[in-house]
Amino acid sequence: MTDRQLETRTIDVIRGLAMDMPQKANSGHPGTAMALAPLAYTLWTRIMRYDAAAPGWPNRDRFVLSNGHASVLQYTMLYLTGYGLTLGDLEDFRQWGSKTPGHPELHHTEGVEVTTGPLGQGVANAVGMALAEHWLRARFGPQLFDHHTFVFCGDGDLEEGVSHEAASLAGHLGLGKLVAVYDDNHISIDGPTELALSDDAPKRFEAYGWHVENVGEIGEDVDALEAAIRRAMDVDDRPSLVVLRSHIGYPSPKYTDTAHAHGNPLGVDEVTATKAILGTPDEPFWVPDDVLEHMRAAGARGREAREAWEKLHESWSEDREALDAALAGTGLSGWQDALPTWDAGDKVATRNAAKKVMNALLPVVPGLVGGGADLTGNTGTEIDGAEPFSLTNRAGRQLHYGVREHGMGAVMNGMAAHGGVLPFGGTFFVFSDYMRPAVRLAALSDLHVVYSWTHDSVGLGEDGPTHQPVEHLASLRAMPNLRVIRPADANETAIAWRVAVERGGPTALVLSRQNLPVLEGTAGNEGVGRGAYVLRPTDGDPDVVLIGTGSEVQLCLGAAEQLGADGVAARVVSMPSWELFAEQDDDYQVSVMGLDVPRVSVEAGSTFGWSLWADASVGFDHFGASAPGATVMERFGMTVANVIEHVRAVLAPR
């Protein structure tokens, strides 16, 4: 068998597995994987630099399958090249406990770089990966970081708004080494894309500033595919889009170029007919030894480069501590000592405190990179005296995302998944809605990112209900694996930032626009990191426990003072994070909240969920109003008097 015959045979095997996996599961998307089998073969065997035996090698090329419904293609390539998947794993596609879920999941399947499936997200993740590579190369040198990011995407990816946001940013920043292949197959689940789409994608991406080449009908020609991708790789000063006209489901005689091939198994008879065209046995999960040997050799092709990199890394002495800290996503030894503190009685908006903390951390947390969605000055994400990351300054740590909240969130995910960078990003808390799909994927993927969400309540004032978050704390607390922290003052903000750096996964800092008093007892209080703590104890057992978050903790303190004068012993608990407190053992929780003691929560927003911790809640379950912040807070019951009224109600005999 000639090399060319072996290549053809291997591509036929890839297509066979792409049919077999959904057929056995009676669920899945075979068509795109069948059409892109030659493209995937070309990338994995001829172009991409990786070592399947070391999936975490920092200088590997990255691959993102943005059209994640075609997961069978990625799983097939990971199995064939030796990432640890077995043929049995492919047979268990979409089954309980399998390593081959319906869409690729980071940390679940070795070799998967990002979780994809929600369309457009992978494109934006790839932009973040390319950005991280550029920054690391500028910061630590091309000897350590010099690789490409490849992404496959389809019509659905390019229709979703997040891809527009990220592609626009990538073009503006001139992110070379990013190569996207657009699978222009003209098919969606509803039918031909012409039902809803008439964009000229090449012209759109050219307008974004991308290098674009429409290569047309070369989907079966591996030499032409290789040449096209290599031409894109040679473009250094901007990202590249290769537009490939493919035929979904090819070479199925019945379902090529049909919507059926998009999201349905082909059926036993059609699989048989298609394999007859391919000239392969009508046998499920057929992988001959020569194909497996050929692909395993491709999977080991990057071993020499990887071992050379490891030797270089081992002997690297230039700024080694910073390099190690960046790769670990943490700070230099003793970095916590850089955290500022404030004196009780000062008045500081927690967004401004967050900015001071972030600037203090930049010299000692080497991988910290970020900014805001056009709101760096407003969200505590402005780096003092910094030159921004740009086409001419790749080492800049200040990112300007523009008015692209969703794109910012998804790009941050790509940066975090790449590694070596700890991204932070800010916007108004109410606009976390625009980021929510990316935030959910960060939580699902356990990505180390930091959100600086400011203007956290109706206390922001005159901008009115469109800008005043009400339900956001409740809704984001409902998201698994998202750590939400709403600090009461500047000192709690410093510790919240410490938690965000120290702990993996995503952390949301929810910060005030208005100045808040620095409270007695918050400086350096380790209780912040435990989610809740007693800020104002009572001499004996309390009659009531007041639980506050953020700007409302001061109301709890004021109410406790007045209640004490009336003979009511009120303990005040600051509870910046439900999630952190829920991690604590029962003894600690009881030591903070008391046992069989009435509790009243105080928070300027929705009361939904507070029944978990409190017997009564001071809050409101309606939208805000346009007026000075203090006026809105007063009109909506965020007053000491209203807190006391609620306490009297829970203490009243029944």
Question: Among all residues, which ones are annotated catalytic?
Answer: 405
What is residue 368's three-state secondary structure? strand
Query: Among 520, 196, 462, which residue's Cα sits nearest to residue 345?
Result: 520
DSSP symbol at 609: T
| Cα–Cα distance measured from residue 185 to residue 394, given in angstroms and rounded to the nearest whole number | 36
Burial 242-262 (b: 16+ CB within 10 A, else e): bbbebbbbbbbeebbbbbbbb
Residue with tokens 């800010």: 426
Query: Among 284, 264, 257, 266, which residue's Cα sits nearest to residue 28?
Result: 264
Is residue 523 within 8 A of residue 537, CB to CB? The reply is no
DSSP 564-604: HHTT--EEEEE-S-HHHHHTS-HHHHHHHH-SS--EEEE-S
| Cα–Cα distance measured from residue 234 to residue 118, given in angstroms and rounded to the nearest whole number | 30
637: left (phi over 0), alpha (psi -120 to 50) or beta: left
Q: Record the tokens describing residue 395, joined without a space.
A: 């080492």
What are the backbone dihedrals phi and psi of residue 355, each rounded to the nearest 5 degrees, phi first? -65, -45
| Cα–Cα distance measured from residue 295 to residue 82, given in angstroms and rounded to the nearest whole number | 8
Query: Among 330, 372, 327, which residue's Cα sits nearest to residue 354?
Result: 372
What is residue 37's three-state secondary structure? helix
508: left (phi over 0), alpha (psi -120 to 50) or beta: beta
| Cα–Cα distance measured from residue 473 to residue 457, given in angstroms and rounded to the nearest whole number | 10
Give me the residues paired with residue 515 across strands: 349
What are the backbone dihedrals phi and psi of residue 182, each rounded to the nearest 5 degrees, phi first? -90, 115
What is residue 59's three-state secondary structure? coil
Strands in 184-289 per DSSP E: 187-188, 191-192, 211-216, 240-244
* Separation in Å, CA 74 to CA 28, 94, 444: 13, 14, 20
Find the helix or strand (DSSP H, E) in which 370 lies: strand 368-372
| Cα–Cα distance measured from residue 539 to residue 545, given in angstroms and rounded to the nearest whole number | 13
